[in-house]
Homo-oligomer: A and B are copies of this chain.
């Protein structure tokens, strides 16, 4: 009996179909059907940040033919938006999409995953994360919270916010009541600003009534939706407390370790896609919003040099205190600072040389 007729008689399919049948149990094992929930810290109205979660989950689903399905939930839908880390930690949800610096109150080391005052721009945050030890340093820290962090988005350099009166020198900062949270709020308080915590939807009335004198949010595209230019015309820059804010997918560490390596690889790569997509989206959306804001009365003003220098010094002093008292902070800070110092050495040549010339041509309307 030749081999072909034996196979036929044994009732086995031939060729590709047979191979598929034999390989199937192994594939099914490495591609379990999972239905996970991802809690975002952001409302749907922040469509670019929230969109990062949608892009991420779409890629994971497509890559697995729907077998690894992750449903994103807007901030606040499952639980308060700023509890994402806690709810990933305790297993209420398998995943979150959030800014690590929201959890800065637990330990200031959480700040580095997003951005810290006078830290890194978007590209150097990526450099640190993907090739400079950032991913490893922060995940060692996150492990204590049962969290694995995956890079998944960036807002770029944020604006310094909206001020009812112009800031012309450091003295003008004294006593300004400003809506600004977290680490940035701590640093800016050291130059006399009184930081306030106000939810997004309540900023406009507070600025209008003068309950606060200033408020920072994100950048032109997101700020425009809230209409701040009508009540606080001075739009200051740069937002030195957020030089390039990275978003994370947080995964429960126990859940992460139980994933097959194939799903881990898919999640990491989908995070990178979301990382590129979100920054790209902001860079395409911000300029139009900026032009419209200026047409609508926004007055663009750089923070005066003495403000920048005083805030830098306040940040440096704070880093010195925290590195002395907090071993995790010290380890992660030193890892970040090494990339920052080196990065801004190199940045002065071709990157800045090219950009400076191109900005000059833009101002001459030659682009």
- CB within 8 Å of B: which residues of A? 17, 19-21, 23-31, 33, 59, 62-65, 67, 118, 121-124, 126-132, 151, 156-160, 219-220, 237-240, 243, 260-262, 264-266, 268-270, 272-273, 275-277, 279-281, 283-288, 290-291, 300, 302-303, 308, 312, 316, 337, 339-359, 361-363, 366-367
Roughly how many angstroms separate A207 CA and B343 CA in the complex, as a whole number?
30
By beta carbon, the residue of chain B nearest A344 is B362
- Count of this chain's copies in the oligomeric assembly: 2
Are A354 and B316 in touch, CB under 8 angstroms? no
Q: From residue A314, how far is it (CB to closest CB) to chain B in Å?
A: 13
By beta carbon, the residue of chain B nearest A235 is B349
Are B261 and A351 in touch, CB under 8 angstroms? no
Roughly how many angstroms separate A361 CA and B309 CA in the complex, as a whole number?
9
Roughly how many angstroms separate A120 CA and B358 CA in the complex, as a whole number?
9
The secondary-structure label for the interface of chain A is: helix
Listed residue (A219, A260, A281, A354) with the most chain B CB atoms within 10 angstroms of its CB: A354
Are B130 and A287 in touch, CB under 8 angstroms? no
CB neighbours (8 Å) of A19 from chain B are: 28, 33
Roughly how many angstroms separate A343 CA and B285 CA in the complex, as a whole number?
9
A275: contacting residue among B33, B157, B272, CB under 8 A:
B272
Q: From residue A107, how far is it (CB to closest CB) to chain B in Å?
A: 24
A287: contacting residue among B64, B159, B345, CB under 8 A:
B345
Roughly how many angstroms separate A339 CA and B283 CA in the complex, as a whole number?
9
Are B131 and A280 in touch, CB under 8 angstroms? yes
Known A-B contacts A265-B59, A350-B156; the reply to A280 vs B24 at CB < 8 A is no
What are 22 A-B pairs with beta-carbon distances under 8 A? A24-B24, A24-B28, A31-B65, A62-B262, A65-B262, A121-B355, A123-B123, A127-B280, A130-B277, A132-B280, A159-B350, A219-B350, A237-B349, A239-B354, A266-B266, A269-B273, A283-B339, A284-B339, A288-B342, A312-B361, A341-B367, A347-B359
